[in-house]
Structure formats: structure tokens, C-alpha cells
Amino acid sequence: MQQRIQSLEEQEHLPSLLAADAQELAHQLQEHQKKIFSPTAQKTMRLFSPAEAAAFIGIGEGYLRQIASEGHGPQPLSNGRRMYSVDDIDRIRRVLDEGVKTGKYIPHRRPGEKLQVISVMNFKGGSGKTTTAAHLSQYLSLRGYRVLAIDLDPQASLSALFGHQPELDVGEAETLYGAIRYENPRPVADVVRSTYTTNLHLIPGNLELMEFEHETPKAMIGGSAETLFFARIGEALSEIESFYDIVVIDCPPQLGFLTMSALCAATSVLITVHPQMLDVMSMSQFLSMTSELMAVVEKAGGRTSYDWMRYLVTRFEPNDGPQSQMTGFMRAIFGNRMLQNAMVKSTAISDAGVTKQTLYEVERSQFIRGTYDRAMDSLSLVNAEIEEMVRKVWGRK
């Protein structure tokens, strides 16, 4: 009997093991980060071809060449070709809008148009939630909107994609938690950071966001919170809403107080789903739990009505029969609540993520042309569809 029972000395102490493994893993990840991205380096956005620049501005490539030849674009390279930076694109928008009252090319909010807050969410990890939020944020900023991306996920993958390492670059109270905590909250403007993309700002995340999950029950029991938990993000955003057109929130992959607060702050909701049976079954449970929790929040005065709510199929493989069947199954159930376009699974996106880049940042020459083009076409269709819904809310054509 004694031989079969492991002694206490021989048993492994789980908290110590996890702490040691976490410390070593963080150290090795930091060393890897230094190799691929120097601590003193700054991320930059690549230059865009005339076709890409024209598409972002919303004009024809021939018209862009004409504007550039009039001295409003970058100088041609040695081969006579022009490549456009984000600043070049933004400058050309301003040139085109000179004397135009409607702001045709600079799509900032106009009087009477409310701030759009899009919460991107899913209960299950691996659904492409963060990838969707990152590319949507960058796309909208490249289209000329003033965008604020909020990383509400304690794992902070969105922050890392945008060049802010959660364990190195984000200090105490420098996440949204600093602005929504119950004691001594900071002005939300203090935690907003610029990025290497014109028109795109970021509120980064890290593990301290979990403090909100721990403190909220205490505040609810003690009655010390002047503002209920589900209203705190919306209240914080009201301080800076005049500076932005669209806010994109990358929610945590669980139904906690942070997610519920993000839902109550949102004007629109985007739910990502991988078209596999287990993922769809998990989403069924997720939707049921969300509905029940939102009903409770609604009784307490929280906002539960939205301009739109859509499901986005992610990591879709068109040649996979079961995935196509599952997608058709969801379309039959959800109808027009499904985005018409799906985000295809692509090695181009996953390979770009290895170096903490989005598809908008990597050079086309780094990939097989067809692979890159298919991924970019899919990405553009998805993001353009979301942009169109935002413009429809504003009453624009």
C-alpha cells in the first residue's frame, strides 16, 4: 500500500510548476522577440502600390496618377513607379476634399452621426476573433476613419500585433482597466496610444484586466460603485468619443464582467465562428448564456439593442465539404444575420502572425502570389461589408 501511494515529497506542486514554467516561457518568448524584432525598433506600415492606394481612397488608379503627377503624391522611384505611404494616402484625401462640403474622401463622422462601437466576440478561442479585430481596425483606418482599437483580452494578442508587448511595454493601469477600475480611475485619454498606422489608436491590454473580474463582485456586494459594471466602458468612451468615428473592441473569450460591459458599450456586435461541429455546438451554449445574462443586465438598465449583429464565418476552407455544409446550415438558421462573405483560412495570414504582422503590413513578394491575393480579396470583402453596414447606420450611400 505504501509503495503505491506517492509521498508528499515526490508529488509535484502545481502552483510552483506553473509559476516556473510561466516565467521561463515568458523569458524565452522575450528572447525570441528580440531576435525577430529589436527592442529599439519601431513597427512601420509598408508602402502601398498605386492600385492599393487608389482602392483605399476610393478613386480610380488613373485619377490617382493624375493627382500624383500634379505634385500631390510621392516622388517616383528610380524605375518610375510610385509607392504610397499611409501619410501620402491621407494627404491625397485632404487634397481631394478641398472645397468639397460633403467630405467625400475624408469619411469622418458628421453632425448627427453617432460613434460606432463594434464588439468582436466569441466564447471559444481559435475562432479568429483577434485576427478579425486587428484587420478590421487597420482596414477602417486605411480607409480614412479615425479608429480606436481596444484590447480587452488579458492575453493581449491584439496589442502584440500592433507593436505593444503586454509584458514589456504595458505598465500598471495602462490598460482600459486603469480607466474603469472602481478606485481612482484614470482619464481614459491617458491610456490611449498612437500606432504606426495613421488614424489608428490603441488601448493595449495585459493580465491586469483580470482585476476587473475580481473587483466587480466586491463592488457589487459592497455597493461602493457609483457606476454599475456594465456601464463603465461606455462611460469611459464618452470622454473621448469626439475624437473617433469607430471603436473596435477585441473582447475576452469568455462571458465575464469585461465582456458584458463591452456589450453594453457597443452599438454593434460581430460574432466570429469557425464552421466546425464542435465550434458551432459551443456557440449554441454561448448564445444561450449571453441571452440570459443580457436579460439580467437589461433589467438593471443596461443597453441591449444594437444597430446590427452579425455572424462572421472565419478560417473557412471552401474545398472542405463538412465546413461548407456547416456554413450552409448556419445560413439557413440565421439568414441575413450572417455576413455574406466569409474569411478564408490562409497560410498568408497565419505566417504573417508569426512575425506579429497583419496581412496589410507584409509584402506580397513574401508569399506565393495566388495565396496572398486570395487572402487579401477575402479580407477586403469582409471588411468592406462591415464598413457598408456602418455607413448605412449613418445614413450614407
pLDDT in tens, 10-37: 666 776 777 777 677 766 766 666 665 5
At residue 103's C-alpha, the angle toward residues 101 and 109, to 5°, is 120
Which ranges of the chain would DSSP assign to H, the alpha helix?
14-36, 50-57, 61-67, 86-97, 129-142, 157-161, 177-180, 210-222, 232-238, 257-265, 277-299, 321-334, 347-354, 369-393
Mean pLDDT within 34-60: 80
Tens-digit pLDDT profile for residues 161-197: 998 888 888 889 999 999 999 989 999 999 999 999 8
Residue 4 has a pLDDT of 53
Q: Which residue has the higher pLDDT, 315 or 223?
A: 315
How many residues does the structure list for the chain? 397
Dihedral angle of Cα 62, 358, 384, 56, to the nearest 10 degrees: -20
Beta-strand pair 246-250/116-121: parallel
Tens-digit pLDDT profile for residues 65-121: 999 988 888 988 888 889 999 999 999 999 998 866 667 889 999 999 999 999 998
Residues near 216 by beta carbon (within 8 Å), at least 6 away in sequence: 182, 229, 257
pLDDT grade for 42, boundaries at 50, 70 and 90: low
* DSSP character at residue 168: T
Tens-digit pLDDT profile for residues 251-296: 998 888 999 899 999 999 999 988 888 877 777 777 887 888 878 8
Q: Assess whether pLDDT exceeds 90 at residue 128.
A: no
Residue 302 has a pLDDT of 74
The rounded percent of the chain whose pLDDT value lies above 90 is 45
Residue 37 has a pLDDT of 55
Q: Which residue has the higher pLDDT, 217 or 4?
A: 217
Residue 220 has a pLDDT of 81
Residue 364 has a pLDDT of 83
Classified as helix, coil or strand, 396 is: coil
Q: Which residue has the higher pLDDT, 239 or 304?
A: 239
Residue 281 has a pLDDT of 77
Mean pLDDT within 324-328: 88
Q: Give the distance, in angstroms, between the CA of residue 349 and the centroid of all CA atoms in the same chain.
A: 15
The number of beta carbons lying within 10 Å of the beta carbon of residue 74 is 16
Q: Assess whether pLDDT exceeds 80 at residue 209.
A: yes
Q: Give the distance, in angstroms, between the CA of residue 215 and the centroid of all CA atoms in the same chain.
A: 25
Task: Find which of 12-21, 105-114, 227-236, 325-334 is predicted with most confidence, using mean pLDDT.
Answer: 105-114
Mean pLDDT of all residues in the chain?
A: 86
Q: Assess whether pLDDT exceeds 60 at residue 8.
A: no
- Candidates 127, 61, 54, 162; CA nearest to 311 is 127
pLDDT grade for 225, boundaries at 50, 70 and 90: low
Q: Which residue has the higher pLDDT, 62 or 166?
A: 62
Task: Find which of 104-113, 145-154, 222-231, 339-348 is predicted with most confidence, using mean pLDDT.
Answer: 145-154
Provide the grid cell at 300. 438593471
Prediction pTM value = 0.88
Q: How far apart are the two ends of the chain, measured CA to CA in Å?
A: 79
Q: Assess whether pLDDT exceeds 60 at residue 38.
A: no
- Candidates 166, 196, 178, 116; CA nearest to 358 is 196
Provide the grid cell at 160. 502584440
